[in-house]
Structure 1
């Protein structure tokens, strides 16, 4: 394969990962027309069509899927070697890609990432906000911020925040009309705002612990969301009870717009962790991110 065709393959991979030509062009720092031209040239050289194109999106053909499956491991090895060589230098540099929920970005990531950017101008940080539990290898992420219970067994997890508790909350008007539940079993008589973390995953079952019992309840209601902010908005507007990490609704509880219920059934649990693969060579930039994010108990 010619050298320019190898470069064209990186453009194809960017289009596949970003889902369309426009976002791939932004990521690569070139024009959309240049991306389109590169893909056409690559397909002509390959002798087969790699992408199906519509007016709104692109997807891989069968041959394209086989090509990408064989391409990714090699490019990953090249990237890891480059990062390894970078880490030899005195100045940490390179791109760190992190996936996290918007709530985790606001509470955990953003304050620290801005400090890193000021202290290490050669480090570039990409943050992908998604409540879906993205696969790190599939999404080519270096790390993810997840609650401890959602960290996979093949990942290293570093605590980046204190213990948290869930909060079942609803508007005062809703509770005035429907009553205040005092036991998780009573949720069956209430409208609940449901979370689904991924398009192909089951809705999240609400977990409670208290009075020596552990209870898991399937709930239902008028809405299913994949972002906690929408759950909070629905609760504020009186559509039912939402089940949200307490830090995300402390302001609304304090000002009386939301009322907490079942508080004695919501024991604190391990909070957010930064997780990353144990099998991947760690870059100097990722080392900085991990060290800065690592949660330290006051006084230690």
Structure 2
């Protein structure tokens, strides 16, 4: 089998696995148009149509079903043989593309970067810090972090730490000038520092819980930011009340620079997870990264 033959068949298998050209192209790290040309070249070489394609659906023809049924096990064995050979190396290596929201990165990745690269010097981490909700596979990432409530059913999830909660906080100076809110509704009478998630039209509504029931409050104030660390810096300076992850606020609280508010209204929710696509043979670098963060967390 020529190299081009294998590339065409691998492309075909990826399209079948994802049921979508965009996702398959992201996995193969080629453009969707290049992938489409590759599939057409395979069909032309074989002289049969393998896929029925419309703008909204994708399905296998009978010839496509037969080819995929025979080729898929053989391809899996070839990939396993390559992984076994790579596994003989002393250390995992290569580039790992990582997508993390800012809170997860600050909590779980930043504190251990030195130890990780000491343990795995041949792994290059290509990290994107981004609070936009992203399709990890379609965007070409190898692994990402998601809150438990946003996990997709077809992804492998590795839990990092325990449950999370968010706290409203203000500086002692702000509280001395404007008092403390006693209920979330009181926030409407306070100067609050809003956060707008990238890609969202409006600010994030602060979420609270009472007797197991969650509700949100759309607050107002003098400042709207796209980075929550700026909101915390502003809160420390007395600009207003901010709202963020307790784990990242705790150092400011313990130092007396911020005071927690409405703690009895701050419910817990499923914490952070690493997530990556299900695959029969997990690359060594991906396994090393996931295992290292799970243990560190």
Q: How far did 1:150 drift?
A: 3.3
Contact in 2 for aligned 1:84/1:283 (Cα 8 Å): no
SS at match of 1:132: coil
2-structure distance, mates of 1:102, 1:83: 35
TM-score (norm 1): 0.66
Out of 45, 69, 78, the residue aligned to residue 32 of structure 2 is: 69
State the Cα RMSD in Å: 3.2
Report Cα offsets for 1:138-180 as digits up to 9, x if no partner: 4311111232223344432211122222110011222222221
Q: Which has the larger radius of gyration?
A: 2
Contact in 2 for aligned 1:162/1:295 (Cα 8 Å): no
Specify the alignment match of 1:63 in structure 2.
none
SS at match of 1:257: coil
**Matched ranges for 1:5-44 at <5 A:** none
2-structure distance, mates of 1:137, 1:211: 38
Specify the alignment match of 2:164 in structure 1.
164
Contact in 1 for aligned 2:99/2:127 (Cα 8 Å): yes
Specify the alignment match of 1:178 in structure 2.
178
Structure 2 segments unaligned to the other structure (5+ residues)? 5-29, 39-77
Contact in 2 for aligned 1:144/1:274 (Cα 8 Å): yes
Specify the alignment match of 2:142 in structure 1.
142
Contact in 2 for aligned 1:123/1:285 (Cα 8 Å): yes
Number of aligned residues: 229
Specify the alignment match of 1:291 in structure 2.
291
Specify the alignment match of 1:120 in structure 2.
120
2-structure distance, mates of 1:108, 1:84: 33
Return closer, same or farther for 1:119/1:224 CA change in 2, 3 Å cut-off.
same
Report Cα offsets for 1:97-144 as digits up to 9, x if no partner: 111134422321134443332233332211112222233134311111
Q: How far did 1:218 drift?
A: 1.8
Structure 1 segments unaligned to the other structure (5+ residues)? 4-66, 76-80
1-structure distance, mates of 2:95, 2:81: 13
TM-score (norm 2): 0.67
Q: How far did 1:273 drift?
A: 1.0
Q: How far did 1:232 drift?
A: 0.3
